[in-house]
Amino acid sequence: MAKILETLNSWPEYFLVNEQHMALKYKVVEVSTVTDEELETAINDTVASGWTFEGIQFAMRDASKRPAMAFILFSRQEEIDRK
């Protein structure tokens, strides 16, 4: 997770799209009950609200093959006011 945050922090603060200043915003959704239904619901609900799915990271338990938690990463472009 530290590598992901390091990469996100190294990207530019904003960029130009069609003469508008756009910022790339990120969202992390934490899922503590890691089942296919829970992951599908979290991804579909967030994508439906305008976010783009970027990836998923699992936190594993020591004595189990099933993940203890999942962190789902999303992004979207937002216009910013650069007066």
Residue entry with tokens 């899922």: 31
Alpha-helical (H) ranges within 1-83 are 2-10, 36-48
Nearest CA-CA partner of 34 in 72, 70, 71: 70
Domains of the chain by residue range: 24-83
Q: Judge contact between 65 and 6, C-beta under 8 A.
A: no
Per-residue pLDDT tens digits for 1-32: 445 445 455 555 555 555 667 788 999 999 99
Specify the pairing of strand 67-79 against strand 15-17. Answer: unpaired
CA distances from 20 to 49, 66, 78 (A): 22, 45, 10
Per-residue pLDDT tens digits for 44-63: 999 999 999 999 999 998 88
- Binning pLDDT at 50, 70 and 90, where does residue 65 land? confident
Cα separation, 35 vs 49, whole angstroms: 22
User: pTM for this structure?
Assistant: 0.72
